[in-house]
Amino acid sequence: MWILIWVIVQSNYSLRKNTNTKWRFIVNPAASGGGVAERWDKISKSLIAKNIAFDVVFTKRKMHAAILAEQAIGNGFRHLVAVGGDGTAHEVVNGLFQQKTCPPQNVTFCLLPIGTGNDWVKTHQIPKKIRSWLSCFKKEKTTFQDVGFIGFQKDGKPQSRYFINVVGLSYDGYLAKKMEGQKALFFKALIYLEMTARWLFKYKTPRLSVEFNGQKREGQLLTVNIGICKYSGGGMQLAPHAVPDDGLLALSIVHKINPIMVLLISPLFYLGKIGWHPKVHLFQTNQVIVKPLQGDTVLAEADGEFLGEAPAEIRILPKALKIVVS
């Protein structure tokens, strides 16, 4: 009799546990040049084989993942997986922080990194191979990381976004706009390098001001990077001093550098040693204000997604996002 009661109790507990941990997978079929759509059937079978409770929705257009994330939380889901690259993660996190159903910290976020850009996962050492990822995912080891907020301008109107990796202004924003809509056929690192080399000599470095910690830096600035995590642009470390849960923004200010010199020192970008160059200055802060000077245009991107232009204000939300890590 007692054995029967114990079995019933355990069965009810397991059922409640599975119900509470049902995951909503938000899949971007266009990610990785359409490769995600081709791989999803095999991935879903692997999830079923691992007894993972889940359902799935598919994005149909830009920023649709944000809407789907908001709807999922409104429908009771508290565990979300973005399937794609950094752009898909960016959209899902924005839906998570825009929704009003529950505090964002009550939702667990995970990225299945099979898109073109997979820079965010490098900081957290989240596996890219599906078998290793599934092993990591099943453990449900979680931590909290900071989230950034950026206010900017688009078509003359104020806009805002949340971000989980890196914001780039000036040349990084310019590149993000150039890369919009381009299909990635090879590694993003190679694409980013190729695009950097292609447009660097044509770029007119704008004048702008950067305000932080009671300081102001002005001049022709090639790029301004504000990082929560270290990696962007296919493995570059343009904010090498970033720590994802320290409550601070890692600020990198790069003054105008000769384009040939930029290409010559490009290995420093990948080694995390850009601070070695005398025209690169690294800081930490909790708020940054960027303003264009003399009528110049300063473009902005976040997590590799083109946003708009400055003036921009960036601030941080400490340990605001619960994530699955390895």
Domains and CATH numbers, the chain: 2-140 (3.40.50.10330), 147-317 (2.60.200.40)
The arithmetic mean of pLDDT across residues 99-123, rounded, is: 93
Number of Cβ within a 10 Å radius of residue 122:
17
% of the chain beyond a pLDDT of 90: 79
Residue of 266 and 190 predicted with greater confidence: 266
The pLDDT, as a whole number, for residue 188 is: 54
Contact present, 240 and 230 (Cβ < 8 Å): yes
Coil vs helix vs strand at 81: strand
Contact present, 167 and 301 (Cβ < 8 Å): yes
Using alpha carbons, select from 307, 196, 316 the residue that is nearest to residue 259.
196
The pLDDT, as a whole number, for residue 189 is: 55
Q: Is the pLDDT of residue 185 over 80?
A: no
The arithmetic mean of pLDDT across residues 265-291, rounded, is: 95
The arithmetic mean of pLDDT across residues 56-79, rounded, is: 97
The pLDDT, as a whole number, for residue 221 is: 98
The pLDDT, as a whole number, for residue 13 is: 36
Q: Is the pLDDT of residue 1 over 50?
A: no
- Bridging pattern class, strands 54-58 and 23-27: parallel
- Rounded Cα gap, residues 167 and 316, in angstroms: 12
pLDDT for 113-166, tens place per residue? Answer: 987 778 999 999 999 999 999 999 999 999 999 999 999 999 999 999 999 999
- Across all residues in the chain, what is the average pLDDT? 90
The pLDDT, as a whole number, for residue 6 is: 42
Instruction: Name the pLDDT band for 43 (thresholds 50, 70, 90).
Output: very high
Residue matched to tokens 């962007």: 232
Tokens of 202: 């044509």
